[in-house]
């Protein structure tokens, strides 16, 4: 019998299947197959934190199918992702399939290429229980926090809320930044620019710096006036000119964190979207037979490491030499030091094959896939290139005891900058009064040379508050604080948004009233859970479990002993207390009473409601913001060309589990709905009215009379206007088959659909 290879995703399975040949069958588990139950804690705290896993609902048939394949297979290879989560999935699969841990054949590969996959199959290992226990410890910790704190929030804030161990810390970061912005007091400062001219008529600009003793800050108009009065009547003298050469090193290849930050800044993608596209590039895409068919384009996308294999460096070096010349790569391959505390199990994120330039595979990729692949490919190649060489200049000009300065640089040798330049973080924070200019061109002046003053321009400024977090800056801060891991950053952000603790305003992450109230309660009652150092230390403990330096139960026991005390104390403290969540106002004015409408949650999502309910029951639909970058603009509400049959208000299009439908715009005051239909241009075989197409379960379609239920005609097969040549009844186009059948079952007429009809 064939050998069985089990991976997580169907796309990964199809890629690997093409590499291994007919002796191997590759199936997908579609993620986890077992987890803690949703209906209970699922952790026996009193009995050594024993986890009670169950098969995930809906996975029963899949598990049976895989178990059947496993029984018939000669060998079973568990080839899930090469990280804690992947190791845990392999362990759960082994348990579900009844394979003893010591007999498991675990294989991992950093890139999904034919060479990497075949090499891994030749060298299987056992499941690493240290990795599994690190994942289990995280899952159990998160479950305990979520299930113990959520009822506390329901009681004191609002029902339906939930708490998360790391998500609560991320919410705290965003709330505290918002408080910084609210409490920020702008500070006045002034700049003075002087326009100077040389003896041969060349003019240029310099900016006030200070005096002989150093830099001076002009904090008010009086300070600026004092300098202006002193220098306005005299000329300037060249005091000093300093020129130097410096090398600018390329940025290292991407880790998960830096990839998310750079793709957010340069491409405008949100973190969850970045990871989704990276997963697609890793798992494999058909890039045409001329490029090798289906294969993974990048290495594993969840990594802390900046390490690069010698083979990849050699590939890059060869490419750089052929494309740019030998002077564009350094004498020896570049080595980048991975930051302290990072996991070094995998390489940095890089192209699986350097030869697959972005332009070569562009036509096989979606626009977003191409953009991210190009970013990863260029960043890696640039990381192996020679440094750029810059000529810098700083010139000081004196007048009346004050110093004005100009500084900047020119690029003498592009080096890696010929291909890639990392983005500079946007800083709204107190703009530097002395900016360094690129490609600055100063006249050829000499020390002690006198210069004429053409004009002086004073400008008043105010310092600005810190910028709100966006995906890139929050991920950077989480990483700096040691909170979460690369594989969790995108999930953290999407979770706090889905729980309505944080919302997006453009690219910014802004706390909601619910988020602020919940954060306040957490700080007062559970300071350890939202403490930055405590959460970072917990990540370190999970790493120690992974490395075999700590036991899972030791970490869980130490956490629970402190958390149990906090929980008990908080319950006593908050017995009679409650927090009122401020309402979220909209810009919509109630057209019945003139009040500013507020956001409410209903069965079909958020809607705008009058704050004077029940005196005023007016409601309006809210236009939702899309989570996808391509749909940043507000969605337009589609208004039907008919009115509500109960109250006469507009009907608007909505989406439900059976597809699109129309609902009264005054919902929830009026609950009238009408299914969306499409006229197919066919007469009803029973009453002669129109036949319309409707949505059924799982977004399948069926056909019925527009007068249903008065006329009860309905069919899964599509009726046509064509008549049966044998009995004269109408013909139906058979669902899922290329045939026409007669409506009269006793007739039995059947005809194949011709190719031209099928194409139509």
- Rounded to a whole number of angstroms, the CA Rg of the chain reads 33
Do 381 and 248 form a contact (C-beta atoms < 8 A)? no
In the residue annotation, 300 being an active-site residue is answered as: yes
User: Among 189, 300, 469, 740, which one carries the catalytic annotation?
Assistant: 300
**How far is residue 132 from each of residues 128, 489, 627, measured CA to CA in Å?**
7, 20, 33
What does the alpha-carbon distance between residue 407 and residue 747 come to, in Å, rounded to a whole number? 92
Q: Is 41 exposed, middle or buried (0-12, 13-18, 19+ CB in 10 A)?
A: middle
Torsion of CA 408, 411, 416, 422, to 10 degrees: 30
What does the alpha-carbon distance between residue 618 and residue 257 come to, in Å, rounded to a whole number? 46
What does the alpha-carbon distance between residue 386 and residue 389 come to, in Å, rounded to a whole number? 9
Do 468 and 510 form a contact (C-beta atoms < 8 A)? yes
Token pair 């139960």 is found at 553
Query: In sequence order, which residues have a C-beta less than 8 Å from that of residue 709 and are 6 or more positions away?
Result: none
Do 525 and 110 form a contact (C-beta atoms < 8 A)? no
In the three-class reduction of DSSP (H, G, I as helix; E, B as strand; rest coil), residue 10 is classed as helix
**How far is residue 135 from each of residues 6, 160, 554, measured CA to CA in Å?**
20, 27, 15
Beta bridge partners of 504: 509
Query: In sequence order, which residues have a C-beta less than 8 Å from that of residue 148 and are 6 or more positions away?
Result: 563, 567
Sign of the alpha-carbon torsion through 213, 217, 222, 227: positive
Nearest CA among 158, 151, 166, 181 for reference residue 518: 158
Sign of the alpha-carbon torsion through 350, 354, 357, 362: negative
In the three-class reduction of DSSP (H, G, I as helix; E, B as strand; rest coil), residue 294 is classed as strand
DSSP 47-68: GTTEE--EEPTT-HHHHHHHHH
Whether residue 709 is preceded by a cis peptide bond, meaning omega within 30 degrees of 0, is: yes
Which are the catalytic amino acids? 300
């Amino acid at each position: 019998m064939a050998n069985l290879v089990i991976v997580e995703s169907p796309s990964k399975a199809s890629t690997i299947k093409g590499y291994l040949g007919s002796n191997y069958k590759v199936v997908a588990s579609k993620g986890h197959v077992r987890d803690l139950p949703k209906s209970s804690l699922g952790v026996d705290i009193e009995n050594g934190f024993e986890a009670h896993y169950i098969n995930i609902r809906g996975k029963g048939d899949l598990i049976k199918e895989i178990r059947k394949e496993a029984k018939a297979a000669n060998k079973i290879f568990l080839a899930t992702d090469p990280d804690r989560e992947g190791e845990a999935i392999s362990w759960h699969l082994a348990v579900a399939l009844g394979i003893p841990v010591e007999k498991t054949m675990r294989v991992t590969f950093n890139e999904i290429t034919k060479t990497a996959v075949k090499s891994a199959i030749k060298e299987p290992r056992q499941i690493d229980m240290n990795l599994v226990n690190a994942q289990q410890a995280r899952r159990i910790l998160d479950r305990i926090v979520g299930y113990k704190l959520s009822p506390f929030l329901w009681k004191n804030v609002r029902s339906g809320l939930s708490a998360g161990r790391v998500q609560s810390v991320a919410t705290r970061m965003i709330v505290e930044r918002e408080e910084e912005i609210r409490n920020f007091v702008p500070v006045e400062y002034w700049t003075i620019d002087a326009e100077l001219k040389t003896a041969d008529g060349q003019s240029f600009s310099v900016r006030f710096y200070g005096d002989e003793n150093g830099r001076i800050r002009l904090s008010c108009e009086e300070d600026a006036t004092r300098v202006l009065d002193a220098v306005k009547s005299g000329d300037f003298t060249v005091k000093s000119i300093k020129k130097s050469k410096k090398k600018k090193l390329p940025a290292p290849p991407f880790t998960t964190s830096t990839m998310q930050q750079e793709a957010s800044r340069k491409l405008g993608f949100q973190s969850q979207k970045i990871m989704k596209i990276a997963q697609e590039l890793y798992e494999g895409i058909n890039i045409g037979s001329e490029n090798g068919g289906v294969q993974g384009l990048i290495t594993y996308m969840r990594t802390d490491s900046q390490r690069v294999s010698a083979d990849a460096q050699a590939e890059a070096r060869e490419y750089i030499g052929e494309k740019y010349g030998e002077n564009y790569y350094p004498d020896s391959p570049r080595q980048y030091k991975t930051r302290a505390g990072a996991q070094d199990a995998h390489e940095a994120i890089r192209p699986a094959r350097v030869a697959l330039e972005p332009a070569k595979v562009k036509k096989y990729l979606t626009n977003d896939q191409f953009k991210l692949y190009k970013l990863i490919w260029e960043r890696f190649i640039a990381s192996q290139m020679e440094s750029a060489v810059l000529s810098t200049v700083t010139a000081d000009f004196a007048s009346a005891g004050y110093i004005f300065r100009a500084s900047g640089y020119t690029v003498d040798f592009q080096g890696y900058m010929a291909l890639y330049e990392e983005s500079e973080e946007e800083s709204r924070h107190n703009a530097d009064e002395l900016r360094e200019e690129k490609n600055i061109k100063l006249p050829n002046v000499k020390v002690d040379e006198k210069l004429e003053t053409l004009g002086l321009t004073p400008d008043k400024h105010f310092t600005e508050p810190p910028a709100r977090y966006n995906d890139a800056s929050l991920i950077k801060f989480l990483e700096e604080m040691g909170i979460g891991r690369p594989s969790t950053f995108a999930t953290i952000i999407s979770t706090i948004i889905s729980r309505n603790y944080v919302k997006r305003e453009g690219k910014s992450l802004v706390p909601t009233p619910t988020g602020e109230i919940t954060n306040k309660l957490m700080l007062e009652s559970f300071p350890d859970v939202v403490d930055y150092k405590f959460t970072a230390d917990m990540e370190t403990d999970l790493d120690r479990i992974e490395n075999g330096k700590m036991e899972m139960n030791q970490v869980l026991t130490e956490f629970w002993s402190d958390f149990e005390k906090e929980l008990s104390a908080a319950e006593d403290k908050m017995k009679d207390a409650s927090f009122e969540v401020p309402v979220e106002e909209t810009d919509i004015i109630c057209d019945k009473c003139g009040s500013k409408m507020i956001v409410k949650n209903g069965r079909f999502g958020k809607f705008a409601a009058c704050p004077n309910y029940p005196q005023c029951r007016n409601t309006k639909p809210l236009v939702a913001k899309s989570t996808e970058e391509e749909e940043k603009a507000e969605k337009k509400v589609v208004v039907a060309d008919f009115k509500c049959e109960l109250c006469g208000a507009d009907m608007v299009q909505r989406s439900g589990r059976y597809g699109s439908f129309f609902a009264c715009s005054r919902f929830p005051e009026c609950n009238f709905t009408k299914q969306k239909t499409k006229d197919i241009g066919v007469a009803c075989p029973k009453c002669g009215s129109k036949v319309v197409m409707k949505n059924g379960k799982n977004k399948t379609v069926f056909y019925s009379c527009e007068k249903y239920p008065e006329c009860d005609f309905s069919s899964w097969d599509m009726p046509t206007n064509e008549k049966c040549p044998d009995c004269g009844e109408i013909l139906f186009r058979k669902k899922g088959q290329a045939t026409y059948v007669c409506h009269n079952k006793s007739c039995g007429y059947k005809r194949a659909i011709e190719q031209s009809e099928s194409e139509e």
